[in-house]
Amino acid sequence: MNIRRAKGHEASELSDLAYRSKAYWGYSDEFMEACRDDLTLSPAHIEEHEVYVLEDEGIKGFMSLEKDAEQEQWLLGFLFMEPEAVGKGYGKALWQHMVEVAQKLDIPVINIHSDPYAEPFYLSRGAKRVGEIVSTVFPGRKLPLLEVEIGKVRSLE
């Protein structure tokens, strides 16, 4: 297993992976199409943010940390796994890498706009639910708003 910085030319591959990963939860085709733009990365996005891929005989997942300069907050923008890689420890490895990157960048708190199905994973890794946010795709749909204090995160066991 290897975790490395993503490259701009991988934007399309990572966007497709994010789409497959979201679809894993059984959302309808209509729902998935509505989410496509939010699941799409550009080469510029990869260059401007902290985007990392996990490889193990191919890319198995990726994550990104993104600075919201307006609100002076950091966001876990993406954390997606190939569907066949779910439950194999890759997500935990990417989470741990995210924590290490945050420590190096001296980021005290990271916000997470979580998919409801992913919330238990984040909570199990030390995140706390601090409220809800309105979906950018579906008005009226609310999503879990989580935050993680980097200094309080449990390491991999």
Tokens of 97: 């890498």
Residue 57: how many other CB atoms lie within 10 Å: 6
Model confidence pLDDT, tens digit, residues 79-108: 999 999 988 999 999 999 999 999 999 999
Identify the CA nearest to 53 among candidates 97, 111, 115, 110.
97
Environment class of 148 (CB within 10 Å of its CB; exposed 0-12, middle 13-18, buried 19+): buried
Model confidence pLDDT, tens digit, residues 41-66: 999 999 999 999 999 999 999 999 99
Report which secondary-structure segment, H or E, holds 104. Answer: helix 90-104
The domain locations on the chain are 2-149
Cα dihedral 97, 100, 106, 148 in deg (nearest 10): 70
Tokens of 155: 């390491």
**Is 90 exceeded by the pLDDT of residue 7?**
yes
- Position 54: which residue type? L
Report the pLDDT value the prediction gives residue 81, as an integer from 0 to 100: 95
Identify the CA nearest to 68 among candidates 139, 128, 147, 121.
147
The pTM for the full model equals: 0.90
Q: Does domain 2-149 have CATH number 3.10.180.10?
A: no
